[in-house]
Amino acid sequence: METSPLTACRLVDAELLLSVEKGDILAEGSFEAEGEAPCDRCSEPVPVRFGKAFQTVLAPKGQEPKGTGPVELHADDLDVGYYDGKGVEVNDIFWEQVALEIPLKVVCSEDCKGICPTCGANRNREACSCGTPLEAGPFDVLKNLKGKKE
């Protein structure tokens, strides 16, 4: 699994309706989560909020979902998972959905100026005298650090 940039995350709202169809568990719900992630450009913490409605079919482990019942199986818009026959953890259902939805790239503002690749100054706060490269990102900073060592 991809490592998430979130440094904190919690559910602020969640709804879940479980129904059982011939041994498959159909989970329909929605969630709203909020957390904090570092800005992709300047690394300042940014509050993020995200959520979605979802439908998941959980089949007993070792079996394919039968796809019967009120929801037709469409690989694209319906997630399929498995449970071990004893039951499912409602928390697990939510966190799996949250993990799918976590934003991979967060910026504090669309016009965040980022960190100066030359001196490392946060250019939202201070104007440094290094000039303005066209595209500055964390990788430029890394490249620059490497260059200094050699």
Binding residues for Zn ion, per CB under 5 A? 39, 41-42, 108, 112, 116, 118-119, 121, 128, 130
Contact at 8 Å (CB) between 23 and 69?
A: no
9 vs 112, which CB is nearer to Zn ion?
112
Give the nearest distance from C-beta 133 to Zn ion in angstroms: 10
Q: Which is nearer to Zn ion, 25 or 116 (CB)?
A: 116
Q: How far is the CB of 38 from Zn ion (least distance, A)?
A: 8
φ, ψ dihedrals at 82, nearest 5°: -135, 150
Give the nearer residue to Zn ion in terms of CB position, either 39 or 71: 39
The CB density around residue 131, as the number of other CB atoms within 10 Å, is: 7
Smallest distance from Zn ion to CB 47, Å: 12
- Please return the burial class of 81, using the count of CB atoms within 10 Å of its CB with bins 0-12, 13-18 and 19+: middle
